[in-house]
Amino acid sequence: MIRRLALVLLVLLAAPSARSEESRITLLHFNDFYRLAPEKGQGGFAPLMTLIRAERARAPEALTILSGDFISPSLLSSFDQGQHMIALGNELGVDLAVPGNHEFDYGPTVFRARMRESRFPWLIANLFESDGRAFNNAPIALVREVGGVKVGFLGLITPRTAELAPGLRGFRFEPPIEAARVALEALKGQGAELFVALTHLTISEDRALARALPTLDLILGGHDHEPITWREGRTLIHKSGSDGHWLGVVELRVDREKAGERWRVTPAWRMEPTQNVTPDPAMAARVAVHEGRLEPILNQPVGACACVLDSRRDTVRTKDSSLAALVTDALRDRLGADAALMNGGGFRGDALRASGTGLTRRDLVTELPFGNVAVLLEISGRQLRQALEHGLARLEAKSGAFPQVSGLAVTYDPARPAGARILSIEIGGRTLDAETRYRLATSDYLAAGGDGYDMLGAGRLLVDASDGRLITSLVEDYLKAKAPVVLDPEPRMRSR
DSSP string, 188-201: HHTT-SEEEEEEES
How many helices, marked H, and strands, marked E, lie in the chain? 15, 26
* Apex 122 CA angle, 119 and 128, nearest 5: 140
Q: Cα(353)–Cα(296) distance, rounded to whole angstroms?
A: 22
Domain containing 63 — which CATH number?
A: 3.60.21.10
In a domain, 472, yes or no: yes
Report in angstroms the alpha-carbon separations of 26 from 33, 43, 52, 228, 255: 21, 22, 11, 18, 15
Q: What pLDDT sits at residue 74? A: 78
Domain carrying residue 358? 299-495
Closest CA to 311 of 342, 274, 275: 342
Same domain for 82 and 133, yes or no, is: yes
- Of 262, 289, 316, which closes a domain? 289
- Of 289, 307, 331, which closes a domain? 289
Confidence check: pLDDT of 17 > 70? no
Q: Cα(306)–Cα(483) distance, rounded to whole angstroms?
A: 9
Q: Cα(144)–Cα(25) distance, rounded to whole angstroms?
A: 11
Domain containing 428 — which CATH number?
A: 3.90.780.10
Same domain for 170 and 315, yes or no, is: no
Average pLDDT over residues 358-367: 94
In a domain, 419, yes or no: yes
In a domain, 6, yes or no: no
Q: What pLDDT sits at residue 12? A: 37
Closest CA to 241 of 211, 206, 217, 272: 272
Same domain for 278 and 319, yes or no, is: no
Q: For residue 264, how far is the Cα from the chain centroid?
A: 33
pLDDT tens for each residue of 400-440 = 999 999 999 999 999 999 999 999 999 999 999 999 999 99
Q: How confident is the model at residue 128 (pLDDT cuts 50, 70, 90)?
A: very high
In a domain, 2, yes or no: no
DSSP state of 470: B
Same domain for 338 and 389, yes or no, is: yes
Residue 397 buriedness (CB in 10 A; 0-12 / 13-18 / 19+): exposed
Q: For residue 62, how far is the Cα from the chain centroid?
A: 24
Same domain for 135 and 270, yes or no, is: yes
In a domain, 9, yes or no: no
Confidence check: pLDDT of 113 > 90? yes
- Of 220, 254, 289, which closes a domain? 289
Contact 61, 260 (CB under 8 A): no
Same domain for 283 and 319, yes or no, is: no
Q: What pLDDT sits at residue 112? A: 98
Same domain for 88 and 190, yes or no, is: yes
Same domain for 123 and 216, yes or no, is: yes
Q: What pLDDT sits at residue 294? A: 81
Closest CA to 39 of 305, 349, 280: 349
Q: Looking at the chain, how many residues does it have?
A: 496
Structural domains in the chain (count): 2
In a domain, 75, yes or no: yes
Same domain for 357 and 420, yes or no, is: yes
Q: Cα(339)–Cα(329) distance, rounded to whole angstroms?
A: 9
Residue 140 buriedness (CB in 10 A; 0-12 / 13-18 / 19+): buried
Same domain for 322 and 376, yes or no, is: yes
Confidence check: pLDDT of 14 > 50? no
In a domain, 11, yes or no: no
Q: What pLDDT sits at residue 79? A: 80
Closest CA to 231 of 193, 256, 198, 268: 268
Q: How confident is the model at residue 258 (pLDDT cuts 50, 70, 90)?
A: low
Confidence check: pLDDT of 144 > 70? yes
Confidence check: pLDDT of 480 > 80? yes
Which of 158-167, 281-290, 322-331, 362-371 shows the lowest per-residue confidence on average (mean pLDDT)? 158-167
In a domain, 294, yes or no: no
Same domain for 244 and 315, yes or no, is: no
Same domain for 417 and 342, yes or no, is: yes
pLDDT tens for each residue of 209-242 = 999 999 999 999 999 989 999 999 999 999 999 9
